[in-house]
Amino acid sequence: MTFDKIEIISKSLVHHGANNDRVYLMKIHPEEVVDELIDQLYDLAVFKRYSKIVVKVPGSLQDLFLKHNFKLEATVPNFYQGVEQGCFLGKYLNDKRSYLSPSEKTSIDEVKNVAIETNDDLSYELPNSYDILKLGVEDIVDIAKIYREVFQFYPFPVFEEAYLQDTIRSNVQYYGIHNKGKLIAVSSAEIDAGSRNVEMTDFATLPKYLGRNLSYYLLQKMMRSMIDEGIQTAYTIARSTSYGMNKTFARQGFHFGGTLVNNTLIGERIESMNVWYKKLK
């Protein structure tokens, strides 16, 4: 499988490609000339015939993107250094990409509302045979094996050992649950140390072990670790129709920030994604 590219455009970090059929501004450089960058993102999308541009930027830049016909889709308070709001804005290059049918809207709203109304904290402990650990380079083969088994498609090449090794050595921490020494569930914390935020992502559990709320305990472990490292705000981008993942974050005190419409290739198609956030400190 050919994955979308991550590269520097102008001075900023951008993810783009045909799989997700979009341009995603992941991190804007503080010295970026924003109007020029917006033009470059648009030119890239037109040249590659992508149907969406999505950006993650400080709230102070929101108006600049709105002037270029972006629409605000989600917000995360205290996203940058625990103070400034983060904004996700989208621009659609065709109407089909921005369209949600009435049934899709109903499903997304239903999952969101069920999650928000969830107030039951999980009180039971994991069995003694289960261990939650921070993973390292020695676990890369097992991590990739789980991702290959769980996901047919994914926005980033988590199936590839070289990619996992690169991310571990840069800004990503992986966590896992072992049952009698076998890795059965994994997740990752993608840290932006400069902005003091972290994306809780890449949750995957082997099919045999589904229904045991393992993602809940992985998230709990990651949050404790991030607090120890001085991270201010945690967030996630979760599949909008997944009851399990949306409830997992709501149970841990995350708040709903908005929905990114038809945003991400995951599973077998491009899906809308919900943003959830929590201030850790």
CATH value at residue 164: 3.40.630.30
Are residue 197 and residue 88 in the same domain, yes or no? no
Residue 275 burial (CB count, 10 A) = 25
Residue 107 resides in a domain: no
Residue 104 resides in a domain: no
Say if residue 59's pLDDT is above 70.
yes
* Domain housing 13: 5-98
pLDDT value at residue 103: 97
State in Å, rounded, how far the first CA of the chain is from the last one. 40
What is the reported pTM?
A: 0.94
Domain end (from 98, 132, 155)? 98
Are residue 87 and residue 35 in the same domain, yes or no? yes
Domain end (from 98, 123, 149)? 98
Are residue 70 and residue 165 in the same domain, yes or no? no
Task: Give, in order, the Cα–Cα distances in Å from 56 to each of 43, 197, 256.
Answer: 18, 13, 16
Confidence at 244, pLDDT banded by 50, 70, 90: very high
Are residue 185 and residue 65 in the same domain, yes or no? no
Report, as an integer, the average pLDDT of 7-12.
96
Say if residue 42's pLDDT is above 80.
yes
Q: Reduced to 3 DSSP states, what percent helix, strand and coil does the chain have, rounded to the nearest 5?
A: 35, 40, 30
Report, as an integer, the average pLDDT of 81-106.
97
> Considering the chain, what is the average pLDDT of its residues?
94
Residue 240 resides in a domain: yes
CB 76 within 8 A of CB 58: no
Say if residue 268's pLDDT is above 90.
no
Distance CA 161, CA 123 (A): 36
Residue 106 resides in a domain: no
Are residue 56 and residue 160 in the same domain, yes or no? no
Are residue 264 and residue 135 in the same domain, yes or no? yes
Are residue 91 and residue 220 in the same domain, yes or no? no
Residue 9 resides in a domain: yes
Domain end (from 98, 127, 153)? 98
Strands 269-279 and 255-266: antiparallel
CB 241 within 8 A of CB 111: yes
Beta-carbon contacts of 278 under 8 Å, excluding residues fewer than 6 positions away, are 223, 233, 234, 235, 249, 252, 253, 254, 255
Residue 109 resides in a domain: no
Say if residue 267's pLDDT is above 90.
no
**For residue 131, what are the β-bridge partners?**
178
Residue 110 resides in a domain: no
Q: How much of the chain exceeds pLDDT 70, in percent?
A: 98
Q: Is 63 exposed, middle or buried (0-12, 13-18, 19+ CB in 10 A)?
A: exposed
Are residue 252 and residue 132 in the same domain, yes or no? yes
Task: Give, in order, the Cα–Cα distances in Å from 80 to each of 30, 57, 74, 168, 204.
Answer: 12, 9, 15, 23, 28
Task: Give, in order, the Cα–Cα distances in Å from 63 to each of 27, 59, 142, 258.
Answer: 17, 8, 45, 18
Distance CA 39, CA 164 (A): 32
DSSP-derived secondary structure for 131-175: EEEE--GGGHHHHHHHHHHH-SS-SS-TT-HHHHHHHHTTTEEEE
pLDDT one-digit tens code per residue, 104-147: 999 999 999 999 998 766 666 788 889 999 999 999 999 999 99
pLDDT value at residue 18: 94
Residue 103 resides in a domain: no
Are residue 219 and residue 163 in the same domain, yes or no? yes
Task: Give, in order, the Cα–Cα distances in Å from 61 to each of 8, 79, 87, 172.
Answer: 19, 13, 9, 26
Confidence at 153, pLDDT banded by 50, 70, 90: confident
pLDDT value at residue 1: 62
Are residue 69 and residue 122 in the same domain, yes or no? no
Are residue 150 and residue 264 in the same domain, yes or no? yes
Say if residue 211's pLDDT is above 90.
no
